[in-house]
Amino acid sequence: MKIVVIGGSGLIGSNVVKRLRQKGHEVVAASPDSGVNTITGEGLAEVLAGAQVVVDVANSPSFEDKAVMAFFTTAGRNLLAAEAAAGVGHHLALSIVGTDRNPESGYLRAKLAQETLIKESGIPYTILRSTQFFEFMNGIIKGATEGDVIRLSPALFQPIAAEEAAAALADLAIGPPLNATVEIAGPEARPLDKFARTYLAASGDKRQVAADVHARYFGTELNDRSLTPGDHPRLGSIRFEDWLSRTAAQR
């Protein structure tokens, strides 16, 4: 099968590309660096010719509210129109658990807009909503740092190793379109501030994390339901501590 992975050079995309190639498929890793740009439309018609499946795991270069909305809506429209013209039979996109429950987050509003475009496109689709990647913990800590203080919500959080989200995408890509949204999360739910303390301790970082129920996570206050999955998510099996030890050993 010819499968085009939009954002195929990224964290998730490169892992999906590797897995699909191992399964014997013809996989094109598409991104601006390889001449495929979903914002300008450059290279889209050429790369989609003969493709049965498109996996969209591109990300916005900017997380600023307006920029991220412009990215996911423009890219979504351009990509879906090009897929319709090329006769692509399955659009698989990676979204985020909680996109519909956190309207104050500009990033999650943009991901919800991306999902809506997909559902309205008429192209058979599957949306995989994942919780946050372990790899994103550093970005979360940066976003929560004010001077010397890291203020984070104690709301429940259930992150996952990026490779397990990628494995689920690779499986979904070779299956039939579900015309539905499925969720995936990590094996354990714990307060977000505790995950951050564990992360900092593993790298010998002595900074303190203050738990604050009003601390905003990329623009939104959290409760235990904000970023945790609903009933029957797929679950990864890699525990955060094991991932941290493995990542430290690799360094």
Ligand X SMILES: NC(=O)c1ccc[n+]([C@@H]2O[C@H](COP(=O)([O-])OP(=O)(O)OC[C@H]3O[C@@H](n4cnc5c(N)ncnc54)[C@H](OP(=O)(O)O)[C@@H]3O)[C@@H](O)[C@H]2O)c1
Question: Which residues in this chain contact ligand X in the complex, by CB under 6 A?
Answer: 6-7, 9-13, 31-33, 36-39, 57-59, 61, 75, 94, 96, 111, 130, 132-133, 136
Nearer to ligand X, 75 or 92 (CB): 75
In the complex with ligand X, the residue whose CB is nearer, 7 or 229, is 7
The amino acid that residue 185 corresponds to is A
Query: Measured from the CB of residue 37, what is the shortest distance to ligand X in angstroms?
Result: 5
Q: Please give the C-alpha separations between residue 217 and each of 9, 90, 174, 193, 194, in angstroms, as whole numbers.
A: 27, 33, 34, 11, 15
Q: Pick the closer one to ligand X by CB: 9 or 247.
A: 9
Q: Residue 27 CB, nearest distance to ligand X (Å)?
A: 14
* Closest residue to ligand X, based on beta-carbon distance: 10
Asked whether the CA dihedral 117, 120, 126, 127 is positive or negative, the reply is positive
Distance CA 185, CA 233 (A): 7
Angle between helices 192-202 and 240-250 (to 10 degrees): 30
* Shortest reach from residue 94's CB to ligand X, in Å: 4
Q: Which is nearer to ligand X, 208 or 225 (CB)?
A: 225
- Residues with Cβ within 8 Å of residue 121, at least 6 apart in sequence: 80, 83, 84, 91
Smallest separation, CB 131 to ligand X (Å): 7
